[in-house]
Chain A
Amino acid sequence: MSSDDLGDLPGLSIEEAAKRLSTQTVSAVELTQAVLERIQEADPRYQAFLTVDRENALAQAVEADRRLKQGAATALTGLPVAIKDNIITRGLRTTCASRLLENFVPPYDATVVTALRQAGAVIVGKTNLDEFAMGSSTENSGFFATRNPWDIERVPGGSSGGSCAAIAFGGGTFALGSDTGGSIRQPASFCGVVGCKPTYGRVSRWGLVAMASSLDQIGPVTKTVRDGAIALAAIAGHEPRDSTSSSAAVPSYIEGIEGGVKGLKIGVVPGLVEHPGVHPGVADVMAETRSVYESLGARFVEVELPHLEYSLSSYYIICPSEISANMARFDGIRYGVREQGDDMWDSYRKTRERGFGPEVVRRIITGAFALSAGYHDAYYKKASQVRTLIARDFERAFESCDTLLMPVTPTPAFRLGELIDEPLKLYLADVFTVSLNLAGLPGVCFPAGTVDGLPQGVQLVGRPLAEKTLFRIARAFEKNTSWSLADRLATHAGRLG
């Protein structure tokens, strides 16, 4: 196969690639080789990957071809997947983009990884993130920042910036990310791809290195909405080892996805995009999205989320509080780097100081403060009470609509270095995403336009376990517009990189 023929393979969606594999137009080995070559060629520019596992990926591809020939394939057999590096993979280095875990090789797979292996997907590598998923730009990675494939002077977003950038430039057919306060949806918006944060408990957290245990969820990053539906179905489901896992049956998300939006009610919060911090282009994209849905027969209703403006404070108290507990396991004894101090406590202090980056330390200290005696009620308890009110606001809103349409980010992708020295400003950029995590609700982000030439997504928010509805509504927009990744790439000579 010549390099010209390889050209379009990394750009294929899950469905397109699966079709070629099933008709044997291309083999899993050829597809994997094409993606690996794309990574080799383009990733030095974007730095989306921390580890590329060429040898094992090709071995998996050989096995996938065997399954395809035997007629034992699934929807994901033979498809190259990139996995965010806070999801553990047996025998494959998992760093969480932290110096503390620089050489950590897990002895077991996360549940989602087991699911992908059983489906026959091909793991090509582990993607970059903000260290321990703490950040919104991937600049907090302990190793290097990832660059936005649409403009390498800009961030891809975070913390799943590596996964989203990889899918944008063809470094995988799909990817997995994790979302605690927007970490799939925000980079998906910045990179022009589809990102899904499932309902809390929909996807097992077994093997996801915990950041904030009541907020974290793993979700798919894909090139199309239909792909998102396929990928989520493969990783969703009950998990006996995750006590927060939902036992609800996993529906077929792809069935009925072309059902359209006629008669559906889409809620919008008035005044949301009129805040001074919101780029006017974002408001324009929201308005255009609304026009499209109205032309397709959806009806818009106004809803109130009276406590939405407090969601950032609530989140940035609760999240660091849980972080301070979850990061306590990194003591340098059982795994990770180890610094020898004068005594055990000194060793702990030195290990953690050496291993953790500044944002991780900042959040641990903030969380410890919020939980400490004398401050716990004013901060953690208060934030948790406001969380209850935010969840109730959404519950009330869904009495009058089927989904909520909200912006994902107040601006398009910002420049590298622009916000890294201003932690609070970076937190403020999460204003539209954190409320879903606080309330445990699902959200699907999909590309809906451009702002200053950069991709801009919007998000649909659903009731608990309403992913099927969200995919259907998102698909209606994708089908009737030209903002999908493939459509946008058509204006970039077919590829980024």
Chain B
Amino acid sequence: MEIKRQQILDLAELVRVELSEAKADSFRSDLNKTLHFFENLKEVDTSDIPPTARVFEGDSELRDDTVVASLRTDEIAAMAGDAMDPEESVFTLQGVFDSLNR
């Protein structure tokens, strides 16, 4: 498996990280070496082996559905800086639908 530069750029777009072509080439080289190393997994017979997502099975612990204290608006505003309108208690951001140029 050899990954191409355009694939790296496409992936960068998917994960929302701006990447120059030079950086994409550098990551491409690193990723190709790593993918080559991963080839050894093909040697392993995994027929009928279930994947593990969580090592210890069991029901997830849930807490009681009760109202508990959360962060105060001023604490959140302190983190968000000017991205938060404290009077409206909302985060402000650029329009989601303003541009189709993703």
Contact = CB atoms under 8 A, between A and B. Distances in A.
Contacts, number: 173
Nearest to B91: A333
A55 interface: no
A335 B71 CA distance: 14
B53 interface: yes
Contact of A361 (B3, B27, B46): B27
A349 B53 contact: no
A104 interface: yes
Interface in A194-249: 200-201, 214, 238, 240-247
A334 B91 contact: yes
A368 B41 contact: no
Interface in A336-350: 338, 341-345, 347-350
B53 A214 contact: yes
A385 B15 contact: no
Interface residues of A, number: 72
A240 B68 CA distance: 13
Interface residues of B, number: 56
Given A344-B96, A391-B55, A107 B49 contact: no
Contacts of A334: 76, 79-80, 83, 91
Given A352-B16, A372-B11, A200 B44 contact: no
B80 A335 contact: yes
Contacts of A246: 56
A398 interface: no
A245 B63 CA distance: 12
Interface in B1-53: 3, 7-8, 11-19, 23, 26-27, 30-31, 33-34, 37-38, 40-41, 43-44, 46, 49-53
B76 A244 contact: no
A342 B51 contact: no
A464 interface: yes
Contact of B95 (A240, A343, A352, A423): A343
B61 A240 contact: yes
A439 interface: yes
B12 A365 contact: yes
Interface in A269-325: 307, 309-310, 312-314, 316-317, 324
B34 A424 contact: yes
Interface of B: 3, 7-8, 11-19, 23, 26-27, 30-31, 33-34, 37-38, 40-41, 43-44, 46, 49-56, 60-63, 71-72, 75-76, 78-81, 83, 91, 93-96, 98-99, 101-102
Minimum-distance CB pairs A-B, first 6: A440-B55, A384-B51, A385-B46, A353-B18, A107-B75, A349-B18
